[in-house]
Amino acid sequence: MDKIRIGIVGFGKWAQKHAECYMGEKDAELVAVSVPSEKSRKLAVEKFGVDVYKDYREMLARNDIDAVSIVVPNYLHAKITIDALSAGKHVFVEKPMALNVFDCQKMVNTAKKFNRKLTVGHELRFSPLMRKIKFLIDNGDLGEVTSCSIKKWRPPWRTGSRGWRLKGKTCGGLVFEEPVHYIDLLFWYLGMPKEIYGIASKTTDIFDFEDNLFVAMRFKENVIGSISFSMAGFGYHFSIELTGTNGSLRGYIEGGHFLWSPKVRETHLIYKPRDGDPREIEIRREMDELSDLRREISHWIKCIREDKPPIFTGEMGIKVIAICEAINKSIREKRLVKLKEILNF
């Protein structure tokens, strides 16, 4: 099979990382970039020597492009994904998949109609730390998992072109940006929650939405999960704690930016069996967002070449976005929300 020919919609900082990853793939060829900015189009030509388009629809009209990465402001994900799938392209759309379940379902339906693959950029599923935790859960080292608590605090995230990440209308608000990664982790580890309660607060004028978030979820009668997320921190800290009937895990990352450069300074994963002493589990592979993205894109190209489903499917994306919608509904209405109010399952 010839190389998978790739187009990218968008050319911000993260889209450029997609481009670098594709350029490093022996089975992929980056051929085109679409971005409205003339300055960005010139940069794409200088850095990668690709064809450039102002209107993404012109790029999608090319019959020699097999797949596209969509790396644009969140509110544009659904429309451009549907257009790309309808044009016969496989689609890698960055998280969040879309800003509501209705749009996610349309995206999945379109992928099925045109027999194209659809995946969403949840690169934490390729993180060595997160994958090791998943392995230990599936291997039974914890027994039945009874709780998972995720905590992250950091300074405010980068603004994006024209400040789109600072506006709820364009990014979807706090829950749909970085916290969607940790919502997906809870979904991956514990399954679908039944009940959700969220609260949020606004401490700065940087955003037109909240910057502190607490979420509690009930998955089964005796299985619970929580997320504590803040952009009011003055450094980067991530921790995750899981308890089970036969053991517990505690992982944390300190220093640097957990998901960006510079590299983190300290990473630990400690396992405590029910009967026995705690022991540290070695994480041998690189722990940073760019390494995760490289692994994710390698997997994506392999899925297209071998006609296999991706690790993260559109159907999974529907469920993650349903949880996001339930959290926002809980915050807005100041009450516990049952997930069946958002998604019948």
- pTM for this model (two decimals): 0.95
Closest to 195 in 3D by CA, of 220, 232, 162, 166: 220
Q: What is the DSSP string of 205-270?
A: SSSSS-SEEEEEEEEETTEEEEEEEES--SS-EEEEEEEESSEEEEEEEESSBTTBSSPPSEEEEE
Tell the residue number behind the tokens 């991956």, with chain if given.
Answer: 188
Closest to 210 in 3D by CA, of 260, 259, 176, 163: 176
Whether the CB-CB separation of 125 and 184 falls below 8 Å is answered with yes
Q: For 125-285+322-339, give the CATH class.
A: alpha beta
Write out the chain's pLDDT in tens, 345 residues: 689 999 999 999 999 999 999 999 999 999 999 999 999 999 999 999 999 999 999 999 999 999 999 999 999 999 999 999 999 999 999 999 999 999 999 999 999 999 999 999 999 999 999 999 999 999 999 999 999 999 998 888 888 888 899 999 999 999 999 999 999 999 999 999 999 999 999 998 899 999 999 999 999 989 999 999 999 887 788 999 999 999 999 998 876 554 454 556 678 999 999 999 999 998 887 777 888 999 999 999 999 999 999 999 999 999 999 999 999 999 999 999 999 999 875
Q: What are phi and psi of 109, to 5 degrees?
A: -60, -40
Q: Could you state, in order of their start, the residue ranges of all structural domains in the chain?
A: 4-123+292-311, 125-285+322-339
Q: For 4-123+292-311, give the CATH class.
A: alpha beta
Helix axes 128-138, 179-190, angle to 10 degrees: 20
Helix, coil or strand: residue 148: strand
